[in-house]
Amino acid sequence: MKKITKLIALVLALALVLSLTACAGKASIVGTWKYNLDFQKLMEASGEQSAEGNEDNKEMAEAMTKLFEGLNMVLILDLKEDKTFTMSTDEASLKAAAEKMKERIPDLLKTMFGGEEGLNAMLETSGQTMDQITESFAEEFNVDDMKLEATKGTYTYEEGKLVLTSEDGETETMTVELSAKELKVTGIEGQEEDDMAEALKSVLPMVFTK
């Protein structure tokens, strides 16, 4: 009898452990989600449009794409238990991207001025050094200009739909697929289709991870 009682107790304990494990692995929208936004994909999307029917624009678009190759900006979506959210960017990732772009600016300038000879002629005419020109161009890609202004507000989530409402009342609806460690955004619709919304659409699907 004692052996049977111990066996029943063991089975119940095992069932409890399995139950807790299942709960722990259940998908929850709450948490801090991160996504590596690929600058190159954004540039390729905009480059295809601007280069249409113009070989000069096409060459410049390709040069700009190379400038951003392999660079990422980390987007952070923090969804809290109280149904509030914050969307922001990781500044460290932006600083790293800005430094890498600065290193690549001389090559971009060569493309702009038709090669080494054209670049040297421009430097001579302008009376500036390569370092001065590089610093000037780098200012156009500084971290403050690149980062997204942090957005705060409230959210609702029903299976397949995440609706973000910012503090100024603008609403953005995301079609999503949720798992324990991934939040896959497959569609974005907003009240106002701004430049950033259009840019993000060009890199869909976006897979955020915890």
Is residue 135 included in any domain, yes or no?
yes
Is residue 180 included in any domain, yes or no?
yes
Contact 75, 89 (CB under 8 A): yes
Kindly report each contact of residues 185-190 with a partner whose C-beta sits within 8 Å and lies 24 or more positions away, as own/partner.
Answer: none
| Residue spans of the chain under pLDDT 70 | 1-25, 43-57, 141-148, 191-199
Residues 6+ apart with CB under 8 A from 186: 175, 176, 177, 204, 205
Q: Distance of CA 68 to CAs 36, 52, 147, 157, Å?
A: 14, 20, 15, 34
Q: What is the pLDDT of residue 193?
A: 58
- The CA dihedral of 15, 18, 24, 27, to the nearest 10 degrees, is -110
User: In this structure, what are the phi and psi dihedrals at residue 193, rounded to the nearest 5 degrees?
Assistant: -85, 85
Q: What is the pLDDT of residue 114?
A: 85
Q: What is the pLDDT of residue 141?
A: 66
Write out the residue range of the structural domain in which residue 82 sits.
28-209
Is residue 13 included in any domain, yes or no?
no
Tell me which residue has tokens 């995440």. Answer: 162
DSSP letter for each residue of 44-101:
HHHHHHHTTT-HHHHHHHHHHHHHTTT-EEEEEEEE-TTSEEEEEE-HHHHHHHHHHH
State the total domains in the chain. Answer: 1
Strand partners, 104: none
State the pairing for strand pair 171-178/151-158: unpaired
Tell me which residue has tokens 């973000």. Answer: 164
User: In this structure, what are the phi and psi dihedrals at residue 71, rounded to the nearest 5 degrees?
Assistant: -100, 140
Is residue 193 included in any domain, yes or no?
yes
Tokens found for residue 99: 């430094």
Is residue 7 included in any domain, yes or no?
no
The secondary element (H helix, E strand) that includes residue 158 is strand 151-158
Q: What is the pLDDT of residue 62?
A: 76
Contact 136, 126 (CB under 8 A): no
Q: What is the pLDDT of residue 14?
A: 33
Is residue 16 included in any domain, yes or no?
no
